Amino acid sequence: MSIYDEYQRFWKRLSKAEREALTSTGFDPDRPDDSGVPFAHRYFGGEPVSDHDEETRSEGYDINRLAANHWHQRQRNWTEVSEKFYSQDDVLDILRKVIAVIDLSPSAEVRLHGTCIKLALGMPGLPTMTALANQHKLTRAAISARVKTIQRNLKLPPSLYMKSDSACAKLSVARRKKLR
């Protein structure tokens, strides 16, 4: 019996909830050789990527050795950090690109955290914290606490989406009095 036939038997024995759980994490029921794990973390058995890449043939676990070899052998242009200065717009553009990768995650929790980072940075065009809380079935306070934690960890001033530190302190005192 081929691995494909065995996989199909396995897939048919799963409940609907189990199938949905596997599919939501990236597993493809039509491709048993696809583990759902991003390419850089897959087992690479040393097969040559093309006909003239025979040096990559090896046995065992090798995370894309050809790409790693090319990375280590590339021509490098070193720039001292002190020679290069970045404007705030440059830094935000770099962060936008990094967070865009987070936004591509199949995990809703990871995407939520990426949006919270954007809120803490004050990037434009984002949903309100209330809308975000409703979308993820959380309270607005939970979203606010996440964003506030990110803001403090990055040592940023409150963004346009956030209340000032003094307003937060006043609300905290009022909330404690109300709970007594």
DSSP assignment of 119-131 equals HHHT-SS---HHH
151 and 102 within one domain: yes
The pLDDT tens digits for 16-71 are: 988 888 777 767 777 766 655 544 444 444 444 455 544 544 444 455 566 666 66
Establish if 177 belongs to a structural domain.
no
129 and 114 within one domain: yes
Establish if 179 belongs to a structural domain.
no
- The number of angstroms, rounded, from the C-alpha of 123 to the middle of its chain's C-alpha atoms is 17
- Which is nearest to 111 in space by CA: 144, 142, 135? 135
142 and 92 within one domain: yes
Instruction: Tell me if 109 sits within 8 A of 142, measured CB to CB.
Output: no
111 and 59 within one domain: no
Pairwise CA distance, residues 29 & 24, whole Å: 11
The pLDDT tens digits for 152-180 are: 888 888 877 777 778 878 888 888 888 88
Q: What is the DSSP letter of 41?
A: G
The pLDDT tens digits for 82-141 are: 667 778 778 878 888 888 888 888 888 999 999 999 888 888 888 888 999 999 999 988
41 and 24 within one domain: no
Number of domains in the chain: 3
Q: pLDDT value at position 45?
A: 45
Pairwise CA distance, residues 40 & 33, whole Å: 15
152 and 111 within one domain: yes
pTM value? 0.49
Question: Tokens at residue 58, please?
Answer: 């090896």
110 and 93 within one domain: yes
25 and 43 within one domain: no
65 and 23 within one domain: no
154 and 97 within one domain: yes
156 and 94 within one domain: yes
Establish if 127 belongs to a structural domain.
yes
- Find the domain containing 26 and state its range: 1-32
Q: pLDDT value at position 72?
A: 64
